[in-house]
A and B are shown apart, each in its own frame.
Chain A
Amino acid sequence: MAISLKLNGQTHQVEAEPGTPLLWVIRDELKLTGTKFGCGVAACGACTVHLDGEPVRSCQTFVEDAEGAEITTIEGLNSKVSKAVQDAWVELDVVQCGYCQSGQIMSAVGLLSENPKPTVEEIDSFMNGNACRCATYQRIRAAIQRASEMMEA
């Protein structure tokens, strides 16, 4: 079926079977590969994108359900919050292998957009669904706190 997607501010016409995960349309059709495939069952968060500003797992979002929504991927981040998050990530050298970090950042931007000053417990709770096999969690937590400070400045 023909589907119209609004992604990173642009409209794309794609041809996809109903039930196709948004993840594979983003990666294989639109060739935006910053959004990662990690588990396919919404258990790792590597595929996190924003639908109307809310973090969702694109591997468990049917493409037809994303029609009409504003989809944002890591490539389309462009806000004060996302700049603070990405700057904090670089400042603290959070990444190791880096494969999960697009998803981590999408979730962190989602958290700070709704809660600009999260406590450690709130960070741990919100970020619980984003796995990092390199275990960069200490720095993810610190970078979210740093981004929160940057947003105040």
Chain B
Amino acid sequence: MTLNTSRRGFLKSAAAAAAVLYVGVRPNGALAAGSAPAQLNPFVKISADGTVTAIVKHFEKGQGPATGLTTLIAEELGVSMEDIQYEFAPSDPSRYANLAFGQMQGTGGSTAMANSFLQYRQAGAAAREMLIQAAAEAWGADTAELTLEDGILKGAGQEAPLAEFVAAAAQMEAPAEPRLKDPSEFRLIGNASVKRKDSLPKTNGTAMYAMDLHLPNQMVAVIIRSPRMGGLASGFDDANAKEIKGYIRAAVLPNQAGVAVYAEDTWGAFQARDAITVDWDFSNAESRSSDQIREELLAAVNTDPEYNVTGADQAATAAQIDGAAKVVEQTFYFPLLAHAPMEPLTCTIEADEDGGVTLHDGCQFPTGPHIAMAQIFQLPMEKIRINTMFAGGSFGRRATPTADYQVEAALAFALTDRSRPVKLVWSREDDITGGYYRPAVAHRVRVGLDADGNIAGWDHRIAAQPILKGTAFESMLVHDGVDHSSVEGVAGSPYQIPGQHVGLTDVAKATTVLWWRSVGHTHTAYVMETMLDQAAHAAGRDPVEFRLALLEGGGADQQRLAGVLKLAAEKGGWGSAPEGRSQGIAVHKSFGSYVAEVVEISGNANDGVKIEKVTCAVDCGIAVNPDVIKAQMEGGIGYGLGHVMRNEITLTEGEVDQSNFPDYEPLRIGDIGAIEVHIVPSAEMPTGVGEPGTPPSAPALANAIAVNGPLVTELPMNLNGVSFA
């Protein structure tokens, strides 16, 4: 992650006389202010009437940036959370780039708060200093005498709302180095009583998601996609669709990936689609079944790996293990998983009066669809606009390197005369069968223990379908052939494991694969944390003590991991489970954050497991919105547990077998009894919370089940020996 704080400069703004103050940064990163948004990228906008608006560059899928980034502005500017609004930023990577992604605007990798923390505070602080300067000039006072709190400027015997000084401040230059508050001065950052900004509209039905957009004269388009990866549509028969009310027409997409079906409304489009038959050319289509993929992956972890990830001497590690007093060995298999966000994928494209187009979308990575649409429509970048709306969940699905659904919408729109907006709608069946899954992965681990019960060697082999290889993101996360999204969480683990060798083999994917909430950590944490438990049991040692020993004497990384482990163990009553209960623990670092979880269950694998309680401890640096962090841990835990309990996507001759929630059954309210979250106080820079709650949940459950039952090494659990109550 890059947080560049050194390039703040002092640029003149060509401020015209207008009573709106914008503060943000120029494309070169310098803080700037002015009266027109085109001159700079505003992070905060203050209208003449004193209305303060935070411009949020990260999309809101529930993870909290609409609250979090707004909190940063309000804190430094000096307004209450009730007196600040927010809106989502337009697509402009030169100005709203995610500082962790380079020149790309987007949300992901749990980076929203980490890469905005200084940027948004600086913008708020600059606005405050300018308003104070304006007030000082008006009152003939010294700036040092004045304060701005709760939207009121005070000092030198005067008092006035900030609105009175917006016009004057809009003509000033932004300070180069506004003074940021010392953490001891924070009133909103770290305040557990700060409320979400989006609760009310999401509670009364007024929140607008892309699915809710209804533009005048719009058409609805649905796509008939190839049931197998690589199939091509060559024609279709829509004779029966012509009877359907609202059906307009159908057309093969230019890339032959499917057939677009246009109708006056959603129900008409769904019905017409069902009435259309498509001629498919499957000559280059995927025909493997997931059983074959599984066999390929399991074979791959039993041969010499393609890549030596850590550079450790594999032969030496093998020799250490072979000569060890005890050997613990397991092979693991993880199936494909769908993201299944609650709002099915959708977006709308309409023509603008100047010949450009606007995409309305719960848009996670605006830069991707922005570039793709510029190419499809042969338009300059500035003629493509993106209106980011609320997103009904994502878990990674709304960000694909191919901008898959936005490209579908663009192709469907391009096939029309562009006089009517086109709203692309995915059904739940489209979502479950439509590709972009957490890849299937296999691990094989051999751990050697010496006579004292210490690890003597750890040979870890992973076989995976690479997520990033061959995509636009390859340069970021693929190095020397190793797709780090396949091995993160094993390679680079804070555990100080002697003689650890990590090998990776790529296996050709049978369907499109994608990051899924916590990416590689979804499987690496499971393997690391269940194997550590297995090793601890073989050594006759307590799992917590065994882990702490591997972190002892380390640096901050090890200390922080140990910190959450101890806190979760203490708060979760580790070692003193009530009668009839079993506990499992796991701890994992991902996206810069440290999370430990104790899962307490009743029952057992044979008679039915019930998850009674999960106790979580998280260290994510400065906790900006503690209640949002708790919510993300609760949600991350539920997401992790629900999928390992009973979800998998399988293929039969290249076709997905599951189709909707009845056979991809989501976590339900009764599945988890209680979740308790504890946040470690910290002065470190904030790190991610959207994903890090997920990785430790599944291995903690597996470890709890293994106390009185089998260690589940193949998922989902319900198909591999575990019944749930």
Could you list which residues of chain A lie within 8 angstroms of chain B, going by C-beta atoms?
17, 20-21, 24, 27-29, 31-41, 43-44, 46, 73-75, 77, 86, 89-90, 93-102, 105, 123-125, 127-128, 130-141
A residues in contact with B395, CB < 8 Å: 133
Interface size on B, residues (CB 8 A): 62
Contact A44 B661 (CB under 8 A): yes
- Of the listed residues A34, A124, A140, the one surrounded by the most CB atoms of chain B closer than 10 A to its CB is A34
User: What is the bound-complex CA distance between A94 and B202, given in angstroms?
Assistant: 10
- Assuming A27-B266, A93-B196, is B428 touching A139 (CB within 8 A)? no
Contact B670 A43 (CB under 8 A): no
Contact B198 A95 (CB under 8 A): yes
B residues in contact with A46, CB < 8 Å: 342
Contact B267 A136 (CB under 8 A): no
Name A31's closest neighbour in chain B (CB-CB). B214
B residues in contact with A35, CB < 8 Å: 205
User: What is the bound-complex CA distance between A74 and B204, given in angstroms?
Assistant: 6
Name B64's closest neighbour in chain A (CB-CB). A96
- Of the listed residues B666, B668, B669, the one surrounded by the most CB atoms of chain A closer than 10 A to its CB is B669
A residues in contact with B404, CB < 8 Å: none
Contact A28 B672 (CB under 8 A): no
Contact A97 B672 (CB under 8 A): no
| B390 CB within 8 Å of chain A | yes
User: What is the bound-complex CA distance between A43 and B340, given in angstroms?
Assistant: 13
Name A126's closest neighbour in chain B (CB-CB). B669
**Seed contacts A39-B660, A98-B203; 9 additional CB < 8 Å A-B pairs:** A28-B267, A44-B666, A89-B203, A93-B631, A95-B196, A97-B62, A97-B393, A105-B203, A139-B634
Contact B200 A90 (CB under 8 A): yes
A residues in contact with B391, CB < 8 Å: 97
Q: Flag B622-637 by CB within 8 Å of A: 1 or 0 each.
A: 0000011001101101
- Assuming A132-B342, A135-B642, is B392 touching A97 (CB within 8 A)? yes
A residues in contact with B206, CB < 8 Å: 34, 75
Could you list which residues of chain B lie within 8 angstroms of chain A, going by C-beta atoms?
61-64, 195-196, 198-209, 211-212, 214, 245, 265-267, 270, 340-344, 390-395, 427-429, 627-628, 631-632, 634-635, 637-639, 642, 660-662, 666-672, 674-675
Say how far B338's CB is from chain A's closest CB, in angstroms: 11
Contact A93 B245 (CB under 8 A): no
Contact of A95 among B199, B265, B632, B660 (CB under 8 A): B199
Can you name 9 A-B pairs with beta carbons within 8 Å? A35-B205, A37-B211, A74-B204, A95-B196, A97-B391, A97-B392, A98-B198, A132-B342, A134-B62
User: What is the bound-complex CA distance between A99 and B212, given in angstroms?
Assistant: 11
CB-CB nearest 4 A-B residue pairs: A34-B205, A135-B638, A99-B392, A98-B202
Contact A133 B666 (CB under 8 A): yes
Contact B393 A94 (CB under 8 A): no
Contact of A97 among B195, B342, B427, B662 (CB under 8 A): B342
Say how far B205's CB is from chain A's closest CB, in angstroms: 2
Name B674's closest neighbour in chain A (CB-CB). A138
B residues in contact with A96, CB < 8 Å: 62-64, 393, 631-632, 635
Say how far A138's CB is from chain B's closest CB, in angstroms: 5
- Assuming A31-B214, A135-B637, is B340 touching A93 (CB within 8 A)? no
- Assuming A75-B205, A93-B195, is B634 touching A36 (CB within 8 A)? no
- Assuming A89-B199, A99-B343, is B265 touching A134 (CB within 8 A)? no
Name B673's closest neighbour in chain A (CB-CB). A120
B residues in contact with A36, CB < 8 Å: 209, 211, 342-343, 392
A residues in contact with B638, CB < 8 Å: 134-135, 137
